[in-house]
Amino acid sequence: MRKLFVMTALMLAVSAPVMAKNYIVKMISDADNTRYYFEPAALTIKAGDTVKWVNAQEDFHNAAATSIPKGAEFFEGPMLEEKGQSWSYKFTKSGTYEYECQPHAMLGMVGMIVVDYTSAPEDIETKAEE
């Protein structure tokens, strides 16, 4: 009986679906110090997880991919203009994603999401300049 219980528990553990997680990245404006940044700027997640970018102040921000794992999608979130507005993206392909806030990229507002593992250099696709 005990053996059966252990076997059943093992089977349940193997077949239980892995719960996808949700992460939040804040978009922060510190205009007094001319600092615009994502918090956290770097995040490691798993394939199937979702990242939600939240505008922390009344300012313009978005999140647009600049380099992605080959075969993934160059995501480009809409411009968020009000405090509390957010945009979510579900990462399904493993590898390294780099992104920027387009209005503040020149001020260093960039971020990185690593999904499962860091991409090898030859597996990264960089967005062509527009």
Q: Which residues bind Cu ion (CB under 5 A)?
A: 36, 61, 101, 104, 109
The nearer residue to Cu ion, 25 or 61, going by C-beta atoms, is 61
Alpha-carbon gap, residue 97 to 10, rounded angstroms: 35
The nearer residue to Cu ion, 55 or 96, going by C-beta atoms, is 55
CB 43 → Cu ion: shortest distance, Å? 17
Nearest to 96 by CA among 62, 75, 67: 67
Residue nearest to Cu ion (CB): 101
The nearer residue to Cu ion, 97 or 99, going by C-beta atoms, is 99
* Strand-pair partners of 61: 80
CB 20 → Cu ion: shortest distance, Å? 27
Q: Is 16 exposed, middle or buried (0-12, 13-18, 19+ CB in 10 A)?
A: exposed
